[in-house]
Structure 1
Amino acid sequence: MKKGFLWGAKIVVFILLISSIYLSYTQSNDPYRFFTGLGSEISISPNDDRFLFSYYKGGNEQVYRSSISGKDVQQLTTSSETRSHTPRYSSDGKRILFLTKKPGVDEPNVLNVANADGQSLQKISDDSLHVTDALFSTNSQQIYFIGMPASDLGKLEGTEEGGNNLYAADVQTGKVKQLTKKDYFVMSDLAIDDEKVYYKIPNDQDYSDELYEYNIKTKKEQAVTQLKLPGDMYETTFSPTGNQVAYTAVSQESENSSLYEYELFLFDVQSNNTEQLTTLKSSVNSPVFFHKRNKVAFLHDTAWAAQPEEYKLKTIDLKTKEIQEVELAIPKDTNNEVLSSLVGYIGNVYTIALLYVVLLSLFTYSFRKDKPYLIPIISLSIAIVGVIASFVTAAVFDPWAGIGIGTLSIGIAACSIILFLVAFVIKQVTTKRNHSL
């Protein structure tokens, strides 16, 4: 192999490796930077004629609506600087709310309200508050939402000064009022009726979730003792009558597997019976009851457990248990889809490992005569130092950073083993060639 060609190959592979690492880093910080596909939340209009959802196009997430059949898709928000997500219809169907955030891990969600067609946009909260969930009151005049100080976003439990609390905002004036002052580390799954707002709080004693209620009239908060929901429920949502609860949970079949599978379940409040509705063997998100039909819509993550998620919008008839997919008539953006796929392949950890092995194999070939095992030894030494550093980092500084360093070091060690095999083959071939000469 000529020296000029060898050095050219090294430079090309090195550039590809650096590009792959860069794309992997940007994807790990923002897996949706180039993504095209459905967002993670849906809503159904009060008369069951429209879906409300968010959709990514080349990393730009905005709110859309469609007919209940998935046709007549209309884009309602158009910001190029923020992502719009978690949309909800008002009880009368005349208005919508949604959250917006700038791309980035620790950027806060801001609450917005608009007409059902996306016009007359009004910002309810500002950047000082991070909103995680929100819904309209039954008379559509108030918005109840869960929020926490944006300055505490991303902090570990026990290190934040203020946690999550329940807030209310007047739709007409936009005036926001804090209703609770418990500073919960986690609050989730808002639901509402004429008198009460419901949400879940983790129980510190058995690590399960407990249902709480805030009485709108008495302004008091208490645990809901009369309704005993099953444990380990996620994304709970009440039916319009309040007699049923749809939720996702780990299926019994996957409890002992390495990857949990989250299926859709239905809980009957009167009989206390639980029924598993799906066996999709992946992950179900955002269950929503139809208002006038005996059906539930949900999102099926067909790429579980990778990021970004690949959601399919589906419905299930609660009587027949028939599942149907709703094909959303969103125009294809070929350029964005190709770019997203290309970034996914180049920024993949397996691609990085392959390029790392190829690059060091080229350097190993350069040392084939005198020191064929030099490069593999250096690579393995780096891996060993990394493993030691991971334990030190986890013990002294940050456990998560230690885990990250350890994972990277194990990957380098695996590549080093391959490099030793490559060096062995190169040495054998070089030795035979020298003997033949």
Structure 2
Amino acid sequence: MTIDWRSKGFWAPDEPWTASGNPSIFGGGFTWPLMVVRRDAVAANVATMAAYCRRHGVEFAPHAKTTMAPGLLDAQMEAGAWGMTVATPNQALVLRRLGIERVLIANEVLDPTALSWLARESAAGWDVYFQVDSLAGVEAAAATGGPLRILVELGHPGGRTGVRGLDALESVARAVAAAPGLELAGVTGYEGQLPTLPEVDAYLDLLVDGVERLAAAGLLPERPWVSAGGSAWFDRVIDRFARLAPSARVIVRSGASVTHDDGFYRTRTPFVRVPSEGPLDAALEIWAQVLSVPEPGLAIVGMGKRDAPFDEGLPVVWQRRRAGALSNISDISVLKLNDHHTYLSFGDADLLPGDLLRFGISHPCTAFDKWRDIPVVDEDRNVVDVLHTFF
């Protein structure tokens, strides 16, 4: 894939950019802002999650929508991932073209164009699954003639998708089981929007009750797939789903774990609760330049909402680079982001126009989509690879 003037952060005004000799990001081939991925942190995170799932006897289908970067998806598959999770048929199409052999669409699919394609690819041997939470979803899937593999989804009050209650779950499951061309493969849910551990456990226990109810009614296969688990509560998923062992096969779907972060997931990762099982390391950072110090205690940085996530917390400042020297820096707060500017409040910190700052980010799921090409760097910030994203 060509990297040239169209790739933000790479400085290639005339000829395509090339990675000859593992160039430093500070060597003139890049401009600011620039998001990079730390190779060693990613490798450690991938290994940590693979080992964690093996220890607990569960399958891992990380959510590809976090990165949509083939280099990272391949690394997770090579480490033993069962497959990949996506949010949309379009993302499923990307993964099909990338050669991912097993995909779970964690949503209901109602578009007849997409459903027809899924049925065709399933008939050709692709191992693809998606969710339903309504009779309308079952009817739309059945209209293709199949074959399609279905997971019925249980939700919770105030949550996202998923039927509300076990009666509705059984009703949808019976419709799937009765529809020609559809295979009821299991049950799924998502606990990530619940704020407290008791609420998470209560919801997951209800989901287990639902699995047992459908199994008792003869609606599920001998060993159904049961899936849940975002990046904040996957330890509770494993704990509460243990009641189903060995009659069910559990899939967890943490997507943010591959890069982790310095904000939202730094405080919410399960490895805060069970540190002996982790840790994960923040692998994403953005380098940006101080553009102005227009008044005492205020600095303006050339990085904004086009470059950094802001939906689940603002970036944090870790280091300053000046005249080639790197130093840790504190007493700085990010106040807000505009489209292309970040406002910093600082006390005793020494900031000057032209300083480079290293930022950690919060919520990787809304970071990758802002960058077409992302350098992968070693710990000296030399470029060892480039990730390409498909959003």
Normalising by the residue count of structure 2, what TM-score does the alignment of the two structures yield? 0.32
Q: Normalising to structure 1: TM-score of the pair?
A: 0.30
Q: Which of the pair has more CA radius of gyration?
A: 1
Higher relative CO (Cα under 8 Å, sequence separation at least 6) belongs to 2
